Amino acid sequence: MKEMETKMIYFTVNGKPEQAEFSVDCPAQDVKDLFRSAAEAGPHDILKLYNPKGNIINISPNLEPNHPNSCYKLEVVASDCNNEPLGVELAGALGFDLSSMEKRLQGLEKKILFEAGGTPAVIYEMKKQVDSFREKLESVEHLSWLGLYKDLSEETHKPSPFYHKRTLHKTKEECDHVRDKFLKMCSLEVSEEVRQYLKTPTFDNWQWEDAEIMVLLQVMYADLDFIAIYNIEPEVLQQFLFEVYRRYNNIPFHNFKHCFCVTQMMYGLIWLTDLRSKMDSIDLLIMLTSAICHDLDHTGYNNAYQINARTELALRYNDISPLENHHCAVAFEILEKTESNIFRNVSLDLYKHIREGIIKCILATDMTSHNEILNKFKSILSHFDFTNKDHRDVLMMILIKVSDISNEARPMEVAEPWLDCLLQEFYNQSDVEKLEGLPVTPFMDRDKITKPSSQTGFIRFVLLPLFIELANLFPCLEQHIIDPVRKALDYYTEMEKALEREKQTRVQCEKAAKSKEMPVEQQSIEPKAQ
């Protein structure tokens, strides 16, 4: 009788060496069960196996045998909602829970078997979809962020950088902690040096905590005289800022720090262009408040996703700027509460004017209206009149648009981390689009864009044309926002060229390595011309 041929696979689980032996014709499911057992993983856990280069590989009978000095690495991703903290985390990240889906299917199948005496084809199809989803999670490297590493020891892996916090929405404990710090700091005097620094585009947001950011926002309202002019009570402003903080989510880019960056740039532009002498204070109040509220309750998925996925927001707003409409709605939910309504002491007519202005400004941040707004601004630029309300309205929309996408006008050490955060959010969305079979947003696809390529086109065709037109009205902005953006374009252009050179070198090395591995007689064979 012929001896059965086996394979020996060496791997680690959380740094601990393990090994698995199986026959070459072993069923695929048996191989997975073997690895599941070695890792002490539960039936609802998802496994991921990486080779020494860090690439994900399928757990199957076709695994290449290896040696103890070239171990594979096995990671266990928890999807069991009985494991409460991890289950809640994964469900929050995905928007649903795989284990819950499976349990519902099992219950439904039992009920149908009992009542109908057989399993209909639709149940098999549903099971097939669940199995397919699990297969994607276990075999697609880019989807690692969808799983959260299971605690197998004290030295557990760090959570994915896509979710720098535990939950999408801020927890009560998190909010209470920040609120207490904020209220303790409210009475402290902010130095004149910081107040002046706050008015510049070079301001570094990364050195400030959330509670400190709220204090700085409070300073902006005070230094622009809004508190005195519109009789805004300090405790109401503090409650308003806290409610705003609470309603920004824990996502990589469109978070509370982004809200602050946009507001701080708006504040800086007001001072740099001396808008206080050109526009009514009510317009400045509208712009600053719009900047604070412009991305409230953003969940990290853009309008294209909302519309293609037919989300609740897309249905509610009939596919018309679903996110921006939602940000407006959340802003006025906060302002509807007496204790957080910073406009509660203004007349009804003035409140209507403020509401109209905030809605107009926030809706202008939808990039689908970019060209329309920019063209309108260009058409009035030669005869711009600050006494003309229509002209002022267009300028207000331009200013919030500039503030919203102004990161590249900041010093590189401030701007580049923001690009990393944005790409995290983009990749997150395109991964989900692929999983759900939706159209993949091209500039978010990790398989098609790189860090520099994502910026060079955006700076050339979106940022510079917009910034240049604003500088045509305010020439002083040339040095403050246009020069830094041109430097950023040069920086990412050079990075793009360097990546291309590196890619070409790698391809040449791979070709050379393949030719060395090829037998001599094959190397000498030249393809004949057709």
Phi, psi angle pair for 284, to nearest 5°: -65, -40
Cβ-contact 284, 409 below 8 angstroms: no
- Residue in 254, 258, 298, 327 annotated catalytic: 254
Placement of tokens 């903080």 in the chain: 245
Q: For the beta carbon of residue 403, count every other beta carbon within 10 angstroms.
A: 25
Cβ contacts of 446 within 8 Å, gap of 6 or more: 142, 426, 427, 430, 431
Helix pair angle (98-116, 121-139), 10° resolution = 160
Per-position DSSP letters for 124-156, written without gaps between them? HHHHHHHHHHHHHHHH-GGGGGGSEE---SSSP
d(CA 227, CA 286): 13
Placement of tokens 């990161």 in the chain: 407
Residues facing residue 23 across a β-bridge: 6
DSSP tally for the chain: helices H, then strands E: 23, 6
DSSP, res 76 = E
d(CA 433, CA 441): 8
Helix (H/G/I), strand (E/B), else coil: 313: helix
Residues facing residue 17 across a β-bridge: 12
To the query of whether residue 254 is one of the catalytic residues in this protein, the response is: yes
Helix pair angle (234-246, 322-336), 10° resolution = 140
Cβ contacts of 486 within 8 Å, gap of 6 or more: 464
Catalytic residues: 254
